[in-house]
Structure 1
Amino acid sequence: MKPKILIVDDLVENLISLEAVLEDFDIELFRAFSGEEALKLSIKEEFALVILDVQMPGMNGYETLEMMRQRKKTKYLPVIFVSAIHQSDLHIIKGIETGAVDFIPKPIIPDILKGKVRVFLDLYLQRAKLDYLLAEMEQANLNLKIAKDKAEEATRTKSMFLANMSHEIRTPLNGVIGISKLLQKSELTDDQKELLNIVTNSGENLLMIINDILDFSKIESGQIQFETIDFKLQELVENVFQLMKFKAIEKGIKFNYSIAEDVPEFLCGDPLRINQILMNLVNNAIKFTHQGKVEIHIELVDRHESMTRVLFRVIDTGIGISEEGKLMLFKEFSQSETSITRKYGGTGLGLAISQNLVCLMNGEINVNSEIGQGSEFWFRLPLKEASQQLEEKKTQQIHHHHDLRILLAEDNAINQRVCELTLRQLGYACDVANNGEEAVAMHQDSAYDLILMDMQMPVLNGIQATRMIRVMDKDKLVKHPVYITAVTANSLVEEQKDCLLAGMNNFLSKPFSEKDLLTVLQEVIQTKIKKNQPEHECIQ
């Protein structure tokens, strides 16, 4: 669109003269024969410049400009005065003080007028371009905000879906794994043990897939949390070795590990996540190795003050990976070859999760491999050396207190039975509430030492029931409130926070192990022991 210029003069011959001077410009000219007409046009149109005569009947140029400066739209509109009044500088000064950008005396010298008009047209075009860019930027920001809101909503929806699916899958899986673990402790024939091991391994493999999907979702939505604690490297690697050696034995391959002597014995970082990465890499190595061996090697890269870089290598003599296959590694929901998923299974998430975890811990991960020559997956992590050597903690066996009063709030009949039998094997009995409302009523009638509280129940869920119990205990001025542990198939960070904010003391994710349950029981026992200790009187 062409820039618009308004020329104002009460004499038509002067307007024609101005139009002739400006005819070479690519502009659109508007005429006004009075100040009043100029004001009306300035409100209606968007002008780049006004060339305004001073001496006009009625409203003169000074008065016209004063009125323009009072209006928002024309407050900063460039105006050039043209006038035959040039005998005194006072007229020019008055014009500038009124708000004009310049003052040209008549008779007009065309080249001077053209030069000044060209300057203001350039400024107008630059401002128009800047306004256009700002409008584009605002629209882009708006689009980004809309896209961000949609992405956040999609993430929330996905998280809710995964949480619900996790609950629905984990609930029956808890029954499968729980019952199989209980049966493994009973007297069975060799054939029965073999079949039971298949059931247990299948359940645990399914649980690993669910955990992979949830971990990927947590990383994607920024919910992953890292600990910074002291740990003993030997214990971490030994734990991985003990958990994975049976798979290696089943396949008839050798499995061992080594830690270089110069690697610090005690480090500071997140042992749980390092364990998870190693488990993923070792599990893959054993899966894709049919003969030969799998080895874990841990070496020192370098030391800088208190920071140590440690190299973890998992080497196998398996099928190897092609150059094309390497391009697919570390990508979510993908395998190195299309045939891998069909033959070996898996979600294709393990390496993607491992890479994300390593990167979030400021490390590096990669692979060296050739088809038929095995693979070496490695990752380097910067870890602090432990400030002081960890004391070897001797596991203190706490004698079971069979007088613990335990309430299980769980609506699923299978999970009720699994938990009852697990507690019975540990030497405890429990009462059962089928929903949150029953749990509140039962605790009101008979105070419990421990409530194992399911999160998703009819009538009242675990959060609602816990809040009611905490209010009830507070109203009764209970000195030692009941210990409440969430037992749930949900494992997202928000749900754990919700449990603690509601007043729960702990959190167990289904399917939980006997060891996890025993840890909770021992904590309750320790708390009960402290409660029963007599308070020491102060000696006056």
Structure 2
Amino acid sequence: MTQLLQNSGLNERQKEYTDIIYQSGSSLLIIINDILDFSKIEAGQLSLDKLPFDLEKECHEICQSLSLQADDKGLELLLDYDSNSPTTVIGDALRIRQLLVNLIGNAIKFTKRGSISVKVNSEQDQNGLNIFSLAVIDTGIGIPKHIQPHLFSSFTQADSSTTRKYGGTGLGLAICKKLCELMGGNISLKSVEGEGSNFTVSLPLGIHSTQPLNKKLDLKGKKVLLVDDNPLNLNILYRMLQPLEMNISSCSDPINALDKLKKSVSTEPFQLVISDYRMSAMDGAELTSKIRRIDTYNDIPILILSSSCQLEDSQKLQQAGANKILSKPITCNILFSALDSLCRNKKQDPILLSVTHTNTKIERLSGHILLAEDVLTNQLVATAMLEQLGLTVDIANNGLEALDKWRTGHYQLILMDCQMPILDGYQATARILAEDPNNSVPIIALTANALPADRERCFSVGMDDFLSKPFEQQALANMLDYWLSRTKPEPHYLEPTLNTQEPTMGNNTITDNSDNLVELSTFEMLKKAMGNNFNMLIDAFITSLDEQLINLPKSIQDNDLKTYVREVHSMKSASANFGFNEFSALNRKLELNGSKEGQFATEAELADLAEQVTKIKQWLKENAYAA
């Protein structure tokens, strides 16, 4: 309610008061969530999942979501994920996110200047277990030596003034310690007062698959200049590029970098420049402008890495002549994809990748879109978003229908769900491309499966891009704007923003007793996007819940695994649209057990589903219908 009030045209004094109310409410929520989590752990009621997930992607998304807080304090938030460490692991992604959010949040809170780095690597112990080390290192105030042994105890902070100055309960680190122990690991601390702290989490995680990085890039031997006045960031970037076998030179001073570029003109010119944006001697925009004035380098590909989340900074860099802008922190795959398209098409328009803007204006688009999607609630959500963007939408309920509509219609773009009856999205795409070898209509995959293997499968059948469900309207708009304004450009593989994040300890949730039922921010975002169609969407969702309770036992009785998996997959994405994350996670677990192990739901799991359906329907009845 305070957020609604803040956007209602208040005067300065009223806005100041509502800001105080909002911050106080947020602090209270943190305290309540901490106490609930701690109580659940103490009572032995906290259960852990063991499911495959992309650890590097999770770390990247957490850093992205917290980068705005860091940027507001003028701090750099860096991710240093060892390229030799596996990325797809087996464990509890939600609890690992909770650990990192807590530790990175503390680092931002207690650091006034400098940087925060998240360093991840792994090694095998004597028993052959893969032990992952996740270290959060800051340049903050540090912790006095006599306090350190007690820091992981309940309700403990560095001193009595810390709570008053920085807020918090003193439970965060105690919860982290308990979570680590529950997962079979531990947490340790190294800190020097006045110099900073290093919190390191060590966890045994299973390896789901070893997927090599996309190193099939024609960059071997290319001469690249790295420019960054932060030695730590320069070192991370250097190590990320090493697998590509490029000819790498680095420079910590942009003025010296200019001299190096000028001297190389008469010998062996550089072929690529990668620079930081915020540097003390000269920022990345000024450096880019000066590079462009050197005749030999007026069209050299220039990639800028920026920790700034301000749109005006991005515009400034584009005007200076930067070819691409990536927001820090980045992963190897994001960097490699950007370099690949940049070096193959260096005169392309500037593209801003992986930058999250919380209040970015959604521009109106135009075009005729084919949406291939078999779940009614997903159809309604996507159609509302697309029509708000100014697009005309036709719907296909399965892959075969999509193929028929494509043959008879004139579409600028196809949004293709991957798992549909009769023909799935992969099969429909293959048939379209068999009839249209020129691939004249961009096909964007929509799927609730977001592991690297799922992306690779989409690209291997010829799809042009990938958007994981549930997605935000801004992410959809960015991707459509990119593809609709170009004729078959190079894929840019936009990373998901908040759409694939699991709920974290700090999320604003409606609760029933102590069970997290709905993530309110996701629910309200959907309500706003649907407008007058929201009540119709709720009716369709409730109908689909009732149908699932009938269809699942029937598919189990008929031993129809294919229908069973499709049913839980559809409900997984439909419920995630609303923010019913626990229900979505249960369907995800059932889907994985069905598709990978050939297992149907047990009676206990079906009872759990039915119980959650009852709670969801009751909550929707009491809270959801718009007046």
| TM bucket, shorter chain | 0.3 to 0.5
TM-score, length-scaled by structure 2: 0.38
Higher-Rg member (1/2) = 1
TM-score, length-scaled by structure 1: 0.43
